[in-house]
Structure 1
Amino acid sequence: MTPSRAAGLRALLVQLVRFGLVGAAGFAVDIVVFNALRLTVLSPEVIAAGPLLAKTVSTSLAILTNWVGNRFWTFSRQRQANTVREGAEFFAVSVAGMGIGLACLWVSHYVLGYTSVLADNIASNVIGLALGAAFRFSLYRLWVFAPSRAAGWRHPEPDGIQSMEVSSREAEPAA
């Protein structure tokens, strides 16, 4: 393996770890808010669509948490100069990812009839989260924070981690 390839793989691994840690923070927000709402004001005994509404609110707050973490840490070297466009794209991908989790919850709760708090958590916070996370990471990396879209926007990494991009000079072996 060439040194530039090894550096690229290391950078990808670091990015995946950071994505996971930011996701863990978002997950904590999501699960706490979801269960607080699901067990109180948005209980299915109070509002029939309560679990779906609780999940929508909790995931929206988690999306905001994740955008800040991913913009300023996970994908900090690839963020766009146009914050509004980047934010709109991030939220579009996140809402689509939220749709995956909501679909899992809907199928479990309303189609299959698994209506317990545990079943709702497994459907939305395990199955839906795993499927949604794979979808979101792929689109964040390939579209929202794509290195090719970060033209002109660079700042040094505080911990010395190098960018995912390898210039043509770095990719060529030394003569």
Structure 2
Amino acid sequence: MDFAKRLYQRFSALLHELTKFGTIGAIAFLIDTGMLNLFAGVFGMGPLTSKVLATLISATAAYLGNRFWTFRHREQSGLGREYFLFFLLNGIALLFGLLVIGFTKYTLHLHDLLSLNIANIVGVGLGTLFRYWSYKKWVFLEATEPIPTELPGVKQDR
């Protein structure tokens, strides 16, 4: 039992961060999938155009959630810089989704919404691995000074 407690204490900050990142990611995934199906299924747009538009909307929600909740304990290097890098890295991650969706539609010739959604899930999964690593490395940087344990007017959630 002592080992488990020490292990938790050692990795608790990472565990909390990953939980928050996963929660924001799940919300962004629901937005992305909903918008993808709306654009492709209801409005009849192409799958790649639908994916780009859905990603723009879901990435904006994800940025806000990650900046102000998941990584709020990290240094803020300017919203403009962070927003630009966040969307640049999301653009790279979007390529994973576009490649999988394009392969599904244009190589496998699967044109139904179920195939589109399965391809989207695979693409989002691959992109998520890249996004978590890249956000920590380039967007939401480690604090160079200790952050106060209590911020004025902000209740801590730990």
Same fold (TM over 0.5): yes
Structure 2 CA distance, aligned partners of 1:100 and 1:81?
Answer: 27
3-state SS in 2 of match to 1:146: coil
Question: Superposition RMSD on alpha carbons, in Å?
Answer: 2.1
- The structure 1 residue matched to 2:156, chosen from 148, 159, 173, is 159
| TM-score, normalization by structure 2 | 0.86
2:67 is aligned with 1:71 = yes
Change (3 A) 1:79 1:27: farther
Structure 1 CA distance, aligned partners of 2:156 and 2:30?
Answer: 26
- The structure 1 residue matched to 2:53, chosen from 51, 57, 73, is 57
Structure 1, 98-107 or 59-68: larger mean CA deviation: 98-107
2:98 is aligned with 1:96 = no
Change (3 A) 1:4 1:89: farther
Which residue identity lines up with residue 136 of structure 1 in the other structure?
R
Structure 1 CA distance, aligned partners of 2:10 and 2:90?
Answer: 26
Give the ranges of 4+ consecutive aligned residues of structure 1 lying more than 6 Å apart after TM superposition: none
Tell me if the contact between 1:100 and 1:128 (Cα under 8 Å) persists in the aligned partners. Answer: yes
Structure 1 CA distance, aligned partners of 2:119 and 2:146?
Answer: 39
Structure 1 stretches lacking a partner, 5+ long = 44-49, 162-175
Residues 91-170 of structure 1: matches in 2 within 5 Å? 91-124=87-120, 126-147=121-142, 150-151=143-144, 154=147, 156=150, 158-161=155-158
CA displacement at 1:90 relative to structure 2: 0.8
Change (3 A) 1:77 1:89: same
| TM-score, normalization by structure 1 | 0.78
CA displacement at 1:41 relative to structure 2: 2.0
Which residue identity lines up with residue 139 of structure 1 in the other structure?
S
Q: Percent identity?
A: 30
Structure 2 stretches lacking a partner, 5+ long = none
Tell me if the contact between 2:104 and 2:119 (Cα under 8 Å) persists in the aligned partners. Answer: yes
Structure 1 CA distance, aligned partners of 2:35 and 2:12?
Answer: 35
Structure 2 CA distance, aligned partners of 1:145 and 1:4?
Answer: 27
2:11 is aligned with 1:28 = no
Partner of 1:15: 17
Question: Which of the two has higher C-alpha Rg?
Answer: 1
How many residue pairs match? The answer is 151
CA displacement at 1:63 relative to structure 2: 0.3
CA displacement at 1:151 relative to structure 2: 3.5
Change (3 A) 1:139 1:8: farther
CA displacement at 1:6 relative to structure 2: 4.9
**More relative contact order, 1 or 2 (CA 8 Å, 6+ apart):** 1
